Amino acid sequence: MTSTKKNIVFSLPLLVFSMAWQAHSQTLDTTTFVFMGEGLTAGMANYGLSSAMQNHDFAVLMAAQMNAGIEQPLIQPPGIGDVIGYPGQEVQVQKYPQGSVRQMYLPTDKTKAPIQTPPLFVTNVSVPGLTLNDSITMKPVAPVVQRANMKQTTFNMILAFPQLILNNVRLWTQLEYAEALNPTAVLVELGYYEALNAAVAGDPSLIPNPTAFGKNYNTVIAGLRGVQAQVIVTTIPNPLDTAYFNSPTAAAAIVQSTPSALATSFNVGPQDYVTRNGLEAMGYASMTGGVQAAQPLPAGSVLTAATAAAITSGVNALNAQIVSAAKANGAVVYDLNAFLHKIKISGASAGSGTVNGDYLGGFYSLDGVYPGATGHALIANDMLSFLNQTYHRTFTTVDVAAIAATDPLGQNLKPKPSSTGTMERIELRGARR
């Protein structure tokens, strides 16, 4: 890494801190608080977007603590949306037992209470899979269900009402939708999907050009500031801090092995990362009679140290653009990247136990990239603390212990170190000759 790049990386926290102090003279009106982002803010988790997590995401939790109304575009389980790291799903018209997909009709069981009529507009306008460029260019397309395009269908399900069901109504982009709500405050979380896509593909070239990205981000912030909204933007989390990517030590604990055994069996270097799919492949090899020495893994199982470094550099460059655009437009920056890095490095208390950012560590859901209920609660509390410090407010925090107590992704799923995680457990036949 060059000295210039180092200066950019290390100066970000200082610049964010300076901007937070500048915001002390500003006020935060939460009357109409809009959340604008992608899957993280939408409540994507466990391989889909559905009300199962939407009702527990950090946006809902924050709104409750701020006494701000929030309208969610609730989706019936099992949910919709493509999952990062898996092939795209075929879009299908809903069928029994799924009803309306978007929760908006009366139940077929007349003994049950009617489903509340959904709001005409939503204030969480986040859409899974949405990129920064999509937020200023993508619009609803009729019909609502686009069989060949899951992202467009998901976009339609969330942001196409009432536009696609009324005549002669203007179709809005995500940004235009947010502006039309005349928000008093907006939290913007964009750019994460692009970083995830590049990291999961193992291709740093998929990270957007920083200059073009900065220009688009400036457009978003300037548009929202143009309607007199107070704007809080988040930095982009480094995908390497998610549970999709695991150190050799963490991976060994999950598959009940040791880092040295993984190195010999699968050529995993000490600075490499084992992906969620790699964990599955390693576990399968261990359970089905072992592997030969230096067994090749399926593509996408390991992210090399060099590629990981390039991904990190790319994310840092995009975050520098976010901070610059925020400063130019009088917005405030919340360092989500730093918070999730802290979770990965140190974990966090959650009731009587702790959670961490490794796979099955309790913070992230089973997809490895989006948080579970406890993770969302911890994010909400850190953001609320940031708002309290920045705007001299006194929002109370969420009861993380209560949420963790009922979160199935909690301590009971954590992998425990195995005394049998040795070369013999992983059946290194080649090594025993």
Which pLDDT belongs to residue 239? 98
Q: Are 266 and 295 in contact (CB under 8 A)?
A: yes
In which band, very low, low, confident or very high, does the pLDDT at 426 lie, cut at 50, 70 and 90? Answer: very low
Give the residue-averaged pLDDT of 298-316.
97
pLDDT in tens, 151-187: 999 999 899 987 777 777 789 999 999 999 999 999 9
How far apart, in Å, are the Cα atoms of 430 and each of 113, 119, 130, 423?
63, 63, 47, 11
Q: Which residue has the higher pLDDT, 7 or 288?
A: 288
pLDDT in tens, 316-339: 999 999 999 999 999 999 999 999
In which band, very low, low, confident or very high, does the pLDDT at 279 lie, cut at 50, 70 and 90? Answer: very high
In which band, very low, low, confident or very high, does the pLDDT at 431 lie, cut at 50, 70 and 90? Answer: very low
Q: What is the CA radius of gyration of the chain?
A: 22
pLDDT in tens, 90-104: 666 655 455 557 765
Which of 65-79, 202-216, 299-313, 416-430 has the lowest average pLDDT?
A: 416-430
CA torsion sign for 128, 130, 132, 138 is negative
Please list the residues that pair with 302 across neighbouring strands.
274
User: Superfamily for 3-432?
Assistant: SGNH hydrolase (3.40.50.1110)
How far apart, in Å, are the Cα atoms of 399 and each of 64, 343, 374?
12, 18, 10
pLDDT in tens, 341-355: 999 999 999 988 899
In which band, very low, low, confident or very high, does the pLDDT at 7 lie, cut at 50, 70 and 90? Answer: very low
pTM score? 0.86
Which pLDDT belongs to residue 16? 53
Domain ranges of the chain: 3-432
Which pLDDT belongs to residue 88? 72
